Amino acid sequence: MSEKATTQSSGYQKPLPEFRPETKPFWDGCKRHELVLPRARTTNEFFFYPRAVSPGEDMTQDIEWVKASGKAKVWTFSIHHMGPTPAYKNEPAYVVALVETQEGVKMMTNIVGCDPKDVHIGMDVEVVFDDVTPEVTLPKFQPAGK
C-alpha cells in the first residue's frame, strides 16, 4: 500500500517519507520543484497534510491539487541539538519549524539558508526544494528574497 523510497542509490540515511496513493501528487510536485497543496473543490478550502478525504465538514473526495505561492511565515520553530536517528550524530544543530503558508495551512519543515540563530517567529520564508535522493525531494523553507 505504500511505496517506500529507497536510500540505497544515494547514501542518504535520514528518515524518508513513505508515499501513499493519496499523497503521491504532493511528492510528485516536489520532484518537479513545485509546491502543490490539496484543496476541497466543494469548499475551496486548503488542507494539509494530504488526505484522500477532506477533513472538513463536507468529507468530500473531490480534491484538486493547486500550485501554492511557496510563501510562508514561521509560526514556531525549534533548533534541534539532537536528531531522532543515528544519522544525525555529529550533525550541526538544525531548525525544525512549523510554517504557515499564504494559503493558510501549516507545514512542518526545516528552515535552511541562514544561521539557525537568525530564525524568529513571524519571519517571512519561501519554499526551496532539496533533492535528498533520486526519488524524494523535500520542500524546505529559506528566508524570503534570499
Partner 1 sequence: MATSIPKVEDAREVLKKHKIVIAGVGETEQGKIPNKSSFQFLSEASKLAIEDAGIKKSDVDGLVTAFSLVEHTFMHCTTFADYFGLRPKYFSSIAIGGATAVWMAAEAAMAIASGQAEVVLCVRGDNTLSGISSSGMVALIREMCHAEFEFPYGLTTPGGYALAAQRYLHEYGLKREHLAAVAVTMRKHAGMKENAMNKEPLTVEDVLKSRVIAEPLSKYDCSIISDGGAAFIVTTEEKAKTLGIQKPLAYLWGMGQGYSHQYLTTLKDLNQIYNAVESSGQRAFQTAGISTKDVDIAFLYDCFTITVLLEFEGLGFVPKGEGGPFALEGRMEIGKDLPVNTHGGLLSQAHLGAMHHVVEATLQLRGEAGPRQVKNAEVALVHGNGGIVSAHSTILLGKQPLS
List residues near partner 1 by CB under 8 A. 14-20, 23, 48-49, 55, 75-86, 88, 94, 96-98, 106-110, 121, 136, 138, 140
Cα 94 from Cα 110, distance rounded (Å): 7
Residue whose CB is less far from partner 1, 84 or 145:
84
The least distance separating partner 1 from the CB of residue 135, rounded to whole angstroms, comes to: 12
How many CB atoms are closer than 10 A to CB 94? 15
Residue whose CB is less far from partner 1, 64 or 130:
130
Q: Decide if 18 contacts 4 (C-beta within 8 A).
A: yes
CA dihedral for 56, 29, 68, 109, sign (positive or negative)? positive
Q: Which amino acid is at 8?
A: Q
The least distance separating partner 1 from the CB of residue 144, rounded to whole angstroms, comes to: 19
The least distance separating partner 1 from the CB of residue 77, rounded to whole angstroms, comes to: 6
